Structure 1
Amino acid sequence: MCTSISFPAHALFGRTLDLETSFGEQVVVTPRNYAFHFHHRPSVSNHFAMIGMASVVNQVPLYAEAANEKGLYMAGLNFPGNAFYFEQTDPGRENLAPYELIPLVLGTCATLAQARRLLENVHLTAEPFAPGYPAAPLHWHIADATGSLVAEPMDDGLHLYENPADVLTNNPPFPFQLMNLNNYQTLSPNPPENHFAPALDLRTYGQGMGAIGLPGDTSPMSRFVRAAFLRGNAVMDMDDPVRIEQFFHVLGGVSMVRGSVITPEGKNDETRYACCIDGACGVYYYKTYENSRINAVSLFEEDLDGEQPQLFPLVRGPQIHFVNKPRGSDTL
């Protein structure tokens, strides 16, 4: 359960990561000379540097989402019941395990157009990262300053779709999500007009009534509609720091409150973190569930010609700033 959004015109990309438990996530900078190894193709030992959220297993970063130094973004989102990976390789295609897709795309592609050309030849195989690590059922949101697309692995191959909404959630497949938006085209951020019965004296009694009918639940299809509405109407003509805050406000509209979604196993599905990546300057911003302060890691402040990933554990605890001196405290 996740939501990814992009604002290509501002080179801002990010997502919520909704999960019932931690996956060991931390911000990871992978420099240009770290060697990525693959099951069915040669290693890539020199590539574009990247920054994103990942777990690190056996010194290998497993990215949930990342952006490279050229401003290309890619995020994997849960796609259960629909994602399909082949048991056999295809000798005429680029054979990749799902976890290898982000490293290869972001490591070798500078633009969305280049990523599309690579993905058009990809054949995803069912190899897990290691024993005990099943291949996660995923689809991907890829974007840069020129636009965004969706890649969905189905039983007849990897489908690529232009993404005019600049939004991705989970199920159903992307074409159904996009078609469903037709059901909400009468919604508006403006006050409503009385088309119901013009002869009746019907009046607005509060702000926001133009969007009555916007889904409020956290199901994937409803989050897609709500994210598309918020992203499509969000005012972004402000300076960068405020624009970053605005990006997080959009993500806040599709975030999961602890206790509001219970999994079949009885666990809380919640927004463990939300992130915004500024593709123009290489800064990764994030919030965690427990810490709503925006924290940031800059890609270009690190040694990008190194050979080992740089790891930045998440700041998780609450950070409350008192503007006056609380009672019983010697310091502010």
Structure 2
Amino acid sequence: MFRSLTALVLAGSLALAPVANACTGIKLTAKDGTEVAGRTLEFGTLVDWYVTAVPSGTQIKPELPADSGGLTYETKYGITGMTAYDTTNFVDAINEEGLYVGLFYFPGYASYPDLGDDNRAKALAPQQYATWLLANFATIDEVKAHFDDIVLVAAEFEQMGEVIPMHVRVVDKTGNAIVIEPTDKTLKIFDAPLGVITNSPTYDWHMTNLSNFVNLSTVNVPPVKLDGVELQAAGQGAGMHGLPGDFTPPSRFVRAAVFSQSAIPVETGAEVLEQAFHILNNFDIPYGAVRGEESGKVAPDYTQWTAVADLTNGTWTVKTYDAQNLRVVDVKAALAAADGKVVHIDSKKWSQSFEDISSEFK
């Protein structure tokens, strides 16, 4: 078996697909009304990550080629969350009004118009879209009314050397959720009541695909008799037999929908935060299990961090590949800090902590 597995891995390495960036997002609600939105972040190369706080009144400039114009604006609301590199480009964040936005990779489907005289005045690069939404809006209704007031153009994210193919999930503190996707060189919006998102294909395709799994149940399958012979399920979980277990975006979307919708509601915000992390643990990709190719080298796509935003209580919590212990950011406290607007995720500082309980034996 192991020899066959090794041969399969070697054969796969000869025809590697591009880096997959297999992110997964869910949302949950506690009985006390607390709304949380969580996600994993996978990448095939290690990105320089920062936990960043951008106060209201901060000027944000367009990341477009020099002297090509674009939209410059000031943030109406303060924002706290994760940015890629030391920038104001939020990948996953919450603003001071409890609006959450997460940016997810959308390869093969995202398309943007070129920068031109007709769109120059309101143009932004794709990696700036989450920040613009968080900076200007407090509710889903506001986002729906203005999501396409700007134009996302085909501008390269300099630090990553590519035009970022992305779509976004937006959730507000009432639990309303939408997905916005740049397809056919325009922005399209979808209501997302389940709050689930992964990657390609398009959101409406994923929702249609869910119909293929209406047979799934949280209840175990009862025994059946065939010619007097009683057959029983092999063990617990028989109702979920057929749930796709691979790491492809369609399979992760189905699992995320099933796990989040079948979760038994808990009482408080603290409990639902913990529940979200437990569900997201099911999407933690081990280093080496999924492989792509980056600059001619094997690039394992793995979970670099997992985060959950509490939209009701205004916190953003994260754990990383190197440090599974949770680190919490109070949004208002971070924004009020006189300095230290950026916390660099450095594996030398953010390491796993272990509690020695040897002395507690009785």
Shift of 1:198: 9.9
Please list the CA deviations of residues 244-278 of structure 1 after superposition, one character each: whole Å capped at 9, or x if unmatched: 11110111111201121111342221100000011
SS at match of 1:244: helix
Greater CA deviation, 163-172 or 121-130?
121-130
**Is the counterpart of residue 147 in structure 1 residue 179 in structure 2?**
no
1:271 maps to a residue whose letter is: T
Shift of 1:92: 10
1:329 corresponding residue in structure 2: none
**Is the counterpart of residue 14 in structure 1 residue 41 in structure 2?**
no
2:292 maps to a residue whose letter is: T
2:144 corresponding residue in structure 1: 116
Greater CA deviation, 91-100 or 6-15?
91-100
Go from structure 1 to structure 2 and tell me whether the alpha carbon gap of 1:10 and 1:195 turns closer, same or farther (over 3 Å shift). Answer: farther
2:342 corresponding residue in structure 1: 311
The whole-number CA distance in structure 2 between the counterparts of 1:280 and 1:177 is 28
Q: Is the 8 A contact 1:97 1:128 kept in 2?
A: yes
Please list the CA deviations of residues 84-134 of structure 1 after superposition, one character each: whole Å capped at 9, or x if unmatched: 011144449943321221121111101011111111444321122448632
2:95 corresponding residue in structure 1: 68
The whole-number CA distance in structure 2 between the counterparts of 1:283 and 1:116 is 24
The whole-number CA distance in structure 2 between the counterparts of 1:197 and 1:153 is 53
* Equivalent position to 2:316, from 275, 284, 290: 284
Q: Is the 8 A contact 2:309 2:316 kept in 1?
A: yes
Report sequence identity in percent: 26
2:327 corresponding residue in structure 1: 295
The whole-number CA distance in structure 2 between the counterparts of 1:53 and 1:120 is 24
Go from structure 1 to structure 2 and tell me whether the alpha carbon gap of 1:99 and 1:248 turns closer, same or farther (over 3 Å shift). Answer: same
* Equivalent position to 1:167, from 196, 210, 216: 196
SS at match of 2:354: coil
2:91 maps to a residue whose letter is: A
Q: Is the 8 A contact 2:78 2:335 kept in 1?
A: no
The whole-number CA distance in structure 2 between the counterparts of 1:66 and 1:12 is 12
Alignment of 1:40-119 (within 5 A): 42-57=71-86, 60-89=87-116, 90-91=118-119, 94-119=122-147
The whole-number CA distance in structure 2 between the counterparts of 1:196 and 1:50 is 60
Provide TM-score, normalisation by structure 1.
0.89
The whole-number CA distance in structure 1 between the counterparts of 2:155 and 2:185 is 18
Q: Is the 8 A contact 2:37 2:311 kept in 1?
A: yes
The whole-number CA distance in structure 2 between the counterparts of 1:209 and 1:93 is 57
Q: Is the 8 A contact 1:142 1:149 kept in 2?
A: yes
The whole-number CA distance in structure 2 between the counterparts of 1:91 and 1:289 is 40
The whole-number CA distance in structure 1 between the counterparts of 2:233 and 2:247 is 27
Please list the CA deviations of residues 163-193 of structure 1 after superposition, one character each: whole Å capped at 9, or x if unmatched: 1221110111111111111111111111124
SS at match of 1:253: helix
| Root-mean-square deviation (Å) | 2.5
Provide TM-score, normalisation by structure 2.
0.82
The whole-number CA distance in structure 1 between the counterparts of 2:156 and 2:145 is 25
The whole-number CA distance in structure 1 between the counterparts of 2:151 and 2:57 is 26
Go from structure 1 to structure 2 and tell me whether the alpha carbon gap of 1:183 and 1:93 turns closer, same or farther (over 3 Å shift). Answer: farther
Go from structure 1 to structure 2 and tell me whether the alpha carbon gap of 1:303 and 1:125 turns closer, same or farther (over 3 Å shift). Answer: closer
Q: Is the 8 A contact 2:284 2:302 kept in 1?
A: yes
Shift of 1:305: 8.6
Shift of 1:279: 1.2
Go from structure 1 to structure 2 and tell me whether the alpha carbon gap of 1:159 and 1:194 turns closer, same or farther (over 3 Å shift). Answer: farther
Shift of 1:209: 0.9
Q: Is the 8 A contact 1:71 1:280 kept in 2?
A: yes
Please list the CA deviations of residues 223-250 of structure 1 after superposition, one character each: whole Å capped at 9, or x if unmatched: 1111111111112323322221111011
SS at match of 2:24: strand
SS at match of 1:5: strand
The whole-number CA distance in structure 1 between the counterparts of 2:168 and 2:243 is 25
* Equivalent position to 1:4, from 16, 21, 25: 25
The whole-number CA distance in structure 2 between the counterparts of 1:45 and 1:55 is 20
**Is the counterpart of residue 323 in structure 1 residue 357 in structure 2?**
yes
**Is the counterpart of residue 268 in structure 1 residue 300 in structure 2?**
yes
1:210 corresponding residue in structure 2: 239
Go from structure 1 to structure 2 and tell me whether the alpha carbon gap of 1:195 and 1:74 turns closer, same or farther (over 3 Å shift). Answer: farther
1:100 maps to a residue whose letter is: Q
1:188 corresponding residue in structure 2: 217
SS at match of 2:265: coil
Matched pairs, number: 323
SS at match of 2:171: strand
Go from structure 1 to structure 2 and tell me whether the alpha carbon gap of 1:136 and 1:198 turns closer, same or farther (over 3 Å shift). Answer: farther
The whole-number CA distance in structure 2 between the counterparts of 1:34 and 1:196 is 69
* Equivalent position to 2:53, from 9, 26, 29: 29
Unaligned runs of 5+ in 2: 1-21
